[in-house]
Amino acid sequence: MPTSLRLRAVTLTAMAVVLSWSAAGCGGEAKGKDEDLTTQKLDWKDCPAPSASEGGGPAPSPLPNGTPWQCATMKAPLDWGDPKGDTIDIALIRARSSGSRDRRIGSLVFNFGGPGGSGVKGLPAFADDFTTLRTRYDLVSFDPRGVGRSAGVECEDDEELDEYFQQDQTPDDASERKDLLDSTKTFNAACEDNSGKTLPHVSTPDAARDLDLMREVLGDDELHYFGISYGTELGGVYAHLFPKNVGRAVFDAVVDPTQTPEQSSLGQAKGFQLALDNFAKDCVSKVEECPVGDTAQDVKNRITTLLDDLDRKPIPGVFPRDLTESAATTGIAQALYSKDLWPYLTEGLQQAYDGDGRLLMLLADSMNGRNENGEYSNLAAANVAISCADDKQRYTTKDVEAKQGEFRAASPVFGDWLAWSMLTCTDWAVAGAADHPEVSAPGSAPILVIGNTGDPATPYEGARKMVGALGAGVGVELTYKGQGHGAYGSGNGCVKAAVDGYLLTGKAPKSGTVCA
């Protein structure tokens, strides 16, 4: 992602917390929770419309069988190092199980990634995918701390964010480098000014402790969990801190927990380039003529030429903004998250070649959390705050310049963009916690870990690294030979059967199973 949105996987997804990644020790329990908070009762009510910080839009409609969406607020410590101190609100959403009460397993808690994505808005949007799972689970999601209604981090306003995302994120000379650094410093300073009290307490281990409190408040002995993208990192950290509390868990679109931010960004450069290669091959393989190139290489060459041209002279985008090189790169990356978006990428490129940047800019807006009214969710702010809370590394322009050749070799299109994103946490107000997350979880129940060979944002290799890091007997590896970010939502019957079978019956597939 751009410098503001780490493709954390990328994640697209950190800071000085009182407790380190492994504060509880390998296989240990986290610090005790305030008894008053563990016994709190949730007051479930009809859900309001999502707040602007969650992305806006109408209140979620009932499910097809009439089941309403219910929302509640859970109290959690602001500082888990002082569990009897100040509290924050954690926003929750649920849809009750459609099956009989005697067959209900418990709650299935979802995190859809980011970091910074609102689960309160996201779960209703994806609910159709989980109809089978709802026969035995209440579907539950939440805004993690720092996100949406859960003590959401605030940085720049909408007008300032428009300018921020127009910033040239691949500087070519000293003047442009200074502008990029100044823009990053201004954004980070705004976060400190507007959310300074919250910033030290939005790390992934903090969110994992919220998850365990949530488990208790929901009345479950074990946490049944479905994590996607950054949600796999959160799930891994939870399993490390609370291995004995893990129930049936699935990790899809898996973050590599062994990598530094630099290694992750380089891996994503390779992953997005692979996805772009696959898009180009697919386009020219159609019976009809590919409208954006005669050969796969021609498709990619025309894209690099377009980006070079936009760097010199942007074209009209969504009025009054122009489509810049950075916005176009962001839009192209967004379209590579799903094969279903490839036709929009083809159309957006056609339009851009004719001087119309609207569609590519709309794709970029989607990744950046901007709605059609010009309002931004707090995705960018939360993404940076959580990432910088977690990641100890603070990179400099010299670090970037030293690695540019390697990044460019990995991807002529995305290399520079992702290399410069390493400066996101430079000048951040609070120190990061660790070199990488600790996810070792001896004693945990089996966790189904799914890797997609064509995933651009969380490259396939991360799944195997997660299995190894979880430890012997914990990770169960499943491979999906497909395209896009994640596997369960792809419509592949083999993947769906494996996931549903594990979550509904407790029977995991054989590790090493491959779905094509």
- Determine the average pLDDT of the residues in 135-159: 98
- What does R_g of the chain's alpha carbons equal in angstroms? 22
Q: How far is the C-alpha of 281 from the C-alpha of 296, rounded, in Å?
A: 5
Higher pLDDT, 19 or 275: 275
Determine the average pLDDT of the residues in 133-156.
98
Choose, from 141, 143, 485, 490, the residue flagged as catalytic: 485
Average pLDDT in the 301-324 region?
A: 97
Burial of 202 (C-beta count, 10 Å sphere; 0-12/13-18/19+): buried
Q: Which residues are registered as beta bridge partners of 75?
A: 89
Q: What confidence category does residue 32 fall into, taking pLDDT thresholds of 50, 70 and 90?
A: low
- Nearest by Cα to 51 from 366, 368, 377: 377
> Ramachandran region of residue 358, left (φ > 0), alpha (ψ -120 to 50) or beta?
alpha
Q: According to the model, what pLDDT value does residue 28 have?
A: 37
75-104: average pLDDT: 96
3-state helix, strand, coil in the chain (%, to 5): 45, 15, 40
Answer yes or no: 179 catalytic.
no
Question: In sequence order, what DSSP letters do the residues of 437-467 get, joined into one string?
Answer: -----TTPPPEEEEEEEE-SSS-THHHHHHH
455 is catalytic: yes
Position 2 pLDDT exceeds 80: no
Average pLDDT over residues 430-448: 96
Q: Is the dihedral of CA 324, 426, 411, 11 positive or negative?
A: negative
The pLDDT score that the predictor gives to residue 173 is 95
Catalytic residue status for 490: no
Say which residues have a Cβ less than 8 Å from residue 383's Cβ, sequence separation at least 6. 1, 4, 5, 6, 8, 12, 13, 114, 115, 116
The answer, yes or no, to whether residue 5 has pLDDT greater than 90, is: no
CA distance 484 to 336: 7
pLDDT at residue 33, as a whole number: 64
Q: Give the per-residue pLDDT at 45.
A: 97
Q: Average pLDDT over the chain, rounded to whole?
A: 93
Q: Which two tokens stand for residue 176?
A: 């442009």
pLDDT at 494: 98
pLDDT band at 13 (very low <50, low <70, confident <90, very high): very low
Out of 5-19, 134-148, 365-379, 468-482, least confident range: 5-19
Task: Write down the catalytic residue from 98, 183, 203, 229.
Answer: 229
| Euclidean distance between CA atoms 307 and 332, whole angstroms | 11
Residue 17 has pLDDT above 90, yes or no: no
Please give the share of the chain, as a percent, with pLDDT higher than 70: 93
Residue 500 half-sphere exposure toward CB, CA atoms < 13 A: 17
